[in-house]
Every structure is written in structure tokens, then in C-alpha cells.
Amino acid sequence: MRESGILFPVFSIPSRFGIGCFSKEAYEFVDFLYGAAQGYWQILPVGPTGYGDSPYQPFSAFAGNPYFISLETLIEEGLLSWDECCSADFGNDETKVDYGAMYANRDTLLKKAYGRFTEAGNEQAELKAFIKRESSWLEDYAYFMAIKNKSGGAPWYEWDDSLKKRKPAALKEIAKELKDDIEFVYFKQYEFDKQWRKLREYANEKNVKIIGDLPFYVSLDSADCWAHPDVFLMDKDLNPTVVAGCAPDAFSRTGQLWGNPIYDWKALKKTGYDWWARRIERNYDFYDVIRIDHFHGFCEYYAVPFGEKTAEHGSMCKGPGMDLFNALKDRFDRLRIIAEDLGNNTPENEALLEESGFPGMKVLQYGFTSWDSYYVNHRHINNCVVYTGTHDNTPTRAWVEEINEGERDYCRRYINSMNSDYGALTWDIIREAYRSVADLCIIPLQDYLCFGREARINTPGTAEGNWEWRLRPNFLSEELKMSIRGLAELYGRVPREPVKQ
């Protein structure tokens, strides 16, 4: 079935208190999607972010980001006041997230809400039920965050040896000493979970499905590594033996050193890949469809000895391949997955994608920068997802301005567009994506709005200025909604209404 959707991160939603969240504006965006005949809302990972603010380096593969808790909802529940929220400093630029201000002030408000929640005894049974239901990851995460805060934010591998190695006596002492801090983490995850489930339910009622994003790797400084070192290649002192990276190539003679711990696939296989199965299960709590980042890593991955300063001395290793997905298919009735297969498409990678049956990705910006590219329209198949660009690309309006004249001429001739106006050319490229035979078409919201480089989400290889862009309030018009709907109707991408039971 042909459908379409919009890529729009949660943190980019316009909101009153500094960052996009599960506020009324999120519900309004769902209404916009429904009115525009869009069947999917694609977001970025929703895990708790750490240093660098990247959603692809979360403190947990299972937890949610407390920044996304709607303060307005807490006000409605009587846990905060408007004066308290409005007097907090969350930055003064409505087009950018100020993560420093978030870090300094968000938890202060949430602690006030937690205190009142505890005093009033509100929903204590629901909170206890949530803690019990999510106990397989929640307790470890709560201890991890409480100890991290007590340690001034130090990574777990720099903690006292008894805590680093999770000695039972040390953890028992922490349970007493940091009881309130641990329960505060429980409260934040409970609020995140409750608010997100309500928003997702609303979206599903509007016939909008959520596409979430699952990073292939986890951060070294994460509750996952601390609580489950057996899942990763680590030595007896809990130092990684190898870390992830990218081999040297034409773009970088020393390669890329990412630093993420690498999975011990042999050990995981002995457990039936249980940790990965639980991770997938948790992600289906969040999303209807999962986009798995760096899908090539399941086929092969680049491992660099720990301690190396560059990625020059790494080696390519075989991943678990279909053995993992066969195990997952035994655990789940249906795996609704999109494979992020961008980059080096080897015959082995292509074979794994084909055998898995998952749709891959076709990005038109890559299609128009070389002749007969893997990503250009006539190379598309039904079982794929077409994008104009992703969160790692510059918005298409800026892209058409910045490519060279030869590439721009090829793009114009390919899509039969004589538009000299870059905004009109951007919409012609969007139209080309809708025209594709791909079953699913996803367009970043910035492209519909013809925004430029200022609206870029992430520039790979840079450490600053990423994950900040926010849409201004009241920017989505009725005219834009109907223009998008017109494309969906013209190219047969209007989602079918679900059958009433």
C-alpha cells in the first residue's frame, strides 16, 4: 500500500518551554498530519541524551528523555504552576533548543512536581505498576542516573570500583543513600511513558503511525554497558577491548573513531539474542515501526582496538546477519522495521537486506549527485522508503543552492523541472519522491517549508550546533496542509481508514 509521512523530531515541535515535548502542539501536529493525508510521523530516538545532546548516544537504550515531558500537563495535574514554569530560564531563542538551560533548570521543576506527586499520593498504584512492569531495565537505569548525579556526571567506568563492578553490598548502600534520587528517576520515566503512550494512542486514533529510530550502537557511558557488560566485548576490568568506527576512505584518511562499545555477538547468540529482543520489545512500546540506524552493522562492522587515537588500525568483522533476525522473528508476530542501509552497499549488505525482507532507504539528494546513482528514482523498488533527505542532510532548499551547476542541471533534467526558483525546484523534488514506486515516501518538514541551512538537524562529524532546530509557533498553515494532501491524493498515498470492528 502506498503511503507517505513527515520526518519531524519531537524536540523540534514548537512549544512554550524551550524544547519540543508531548504538549498540545504535538497533538496539533498529529491533526496536521491527519488533515494532510499523511499516514506516518517519523521521529528521531527519544532516549535520554548526554554529552553532545545526540539522541544517538543516549544514557539508556530503554528509557525516555525527561526533556519531552510536557510541563503544561504537569500544570493541569496540579503538580506545577504556570508562574513556576514561566519564570524558569529555558533560553530566549524560539528557533533553537538551549540544552545548557535545559540541563540547568528542567530537573528543578520536575523535582517540584515529584515532591507534590509524592505528598498527594497521586496515582501511586499506577506508578508502582509501571515500576514492576519495566523492572527489567528501569531499576538499573535509575541506579545508574542516581549514582552519575552523585558523582558529578562522571561516566560509570570512572566510578569507585565497587560501584563500577556493581558489588551487591555497594548497590545495597546506594539504595539507602540515594533512595529519593532513584525514586525521582522512576517518576520521570513514569511521566514520560504515560504522556507518550497517550500521544501515540491519539495519533493511532487519527490513523497516523509512529516511525521511531533505534541506534545500532549504544553509548559507552550508558546504563546498558554498566548493567550488562556481558553483552559487549569487554575485559575483566570492564574496559572495552574494541570500539566502533569507520575505516579510512576518500573522505577521511584516518577513518572515523566513534568510540561505542561493540556487541559480543557470540555471547548474545547463546542467549537467543535476549538483550536485543528486549530492546526491540521496548521500542515497540514507543513506536509502530522501527527504523534501525546503521543496518550494515548487522552484516559487518569495523572494530578499532580500544585506546587507539584514530581508526586507522581497525579491522572489518562479520555481524550476526540473519541469525539475529530469525531469532527475533521467533519472538515477534511481525517485525515492522525500516533498514537504514545508506552508505557502502556491498553485495553482502544487499543480500542481508533482501533476505530480511525489510525495506531499505532511497535518498534523492544522493540520487542526483552522480549518474545512475543507487538512489535515483529508476533504481527504486516497491519495498523501500524514499526520502528527499534525512536528519543528516542539509534541507533540500539549501542543497539545491549549494550543489554545483552540473549536478543541478542533471537534477532539473531528470525531474523535468525548468524552475529557476529554488523553492519551486524543492517542491518539484518532493513531487519526484511522491512519484516514486516506493511504498512509503517520507519528507522532512523543513523541505515542505523550503527552509535553508539554518534548519539543518545534524551535520555528521561536527560536535556543536546539532539537534537544536525548532519550528516557530503557529507556522503550519491550512494552505500547506492542503498542498501536501494534494500530493498524497494525486500519487495514491492517502492512507486507508482502518476497518471498524
List the catalytic residues. 293, 340, 392
What are the counts of helices (DSSP H) followed by strands (DSSP E) for the chain? 20, 12
Helix (H) or strand (E) holding 437: none
C-alpha span between 229 and 264 (Å, rounded)? 9
Cα torsion 127, 130, 135, 140: sign: negative
Contact 210, 41 (CB under 8 A): yes
β-strands 40-42, 3-7 pairing: parallel
Please write down the long-range contacts of 28-35, taking CB distance under 8 Å and 24 or more positions apart.
Answer: 29/476, 30/199, 30/202, 30/203, 30/206, 30/208, 31/206, 32/476, 32/481, 33/5, 33/6, 33/203, 33/206, 33/208, 34/206, 34/207, 34/208, 35/481, 35/482, 35/485
Backbone torsions φ then ψ of 340, nearest 5 degrees: -80, 95
C-alpha span between 423 and 129 (Å, rounded)? 51
C-alpha span between 149 and 135 (Å, rounded)? 21
Contact 396, 388 (CB under 8 A): yes
Q: What one-letter code names the amino acid at 428? A: D
Nearest to 43 by CA among 80, 88, 7: 7
